[in-house]
Amino acid sequence: MARSKELGTTGVLIASAVALIMLGDKLGISLMEVMQSQFQLERDDAFDSKKYFLYLAPLSKTLARH
Per-residue pLDDT, 13: 92
- Measured between alpha carbons, how far is 57 from 38 in angstroms, rounded to an integer? 11
Give per-residue burial for 5-36: e unless 16+ CB within 10 Å, then b: eeeeeeeeeeeeeeeeeeeeeeeeeeeebeee
Question: Mean pLDDT of all residues in the chain?
Answer: 78
pLDDT of 38 above 80: no
Q: Which residue has the higher pLDDT, 40 or 18?
A: 18
pLDDT band at 62 (very low <50, low <70, confident <90, very high): low
Contact residues for 58 (Cβ-Cβ < 8 A; gap 6+): 37
Q: Is 56 helix (H, G, I), strand (E, B) or coil?
A: helix
